[in-house]
A = this chain, B = another copy of it.
Amino acid sequence: MKTETFNQLDKVIHEKGRMAIMSILASSSEMSFRELKEMLGMTDGNLSVHIRTLQQAGYVVVSKTFVNNRPHTSYRLTKEGIRSFEDYINLLEEIVRLNRESD
């Protein structure tokens, strides 16, 4: 059992809510606050806090545009976010594999 594998898990992504946000954004080009909120069933407050953490880590960027003259805020992963999430998923895969081997 290589315990350093666990230490390598990215704290920013490892929190369940942020893991879900990263997964959703990884599978779509961009997503509005409302869409994310509906998919995740989170409160505005929770979602805002998680997105801010992801922005501060440089994993998510926000773009503010106008659609039909109304402000439209959407989120997408940065290149660093994509790479960090891939690393994270690779580690999860490794952890699953380590635990299957020792069965």
A residues lining the B interface (CB < 8 Å): 1, 3, 6-7, 9, 11, 14, 16-17, 19-20, 23-24, 26-27, 39-41, 85, 89, 92-93, 95-96, 98-100, 102
Contacts and interface: CB of A to CB of B under 8 A. Distances in A.
A16 B15 CA distance: 10
Query: How many monomers of this chain does the complex have?
Result: 2
A74 B28 CA distance: 48
A44 B102 CA distance: 26
Contacts of A6: 16-17, 19-20, 23
A96 B99 contact: no
Contacts of A7: 16, 20
A58 to B, nearest CB: 20
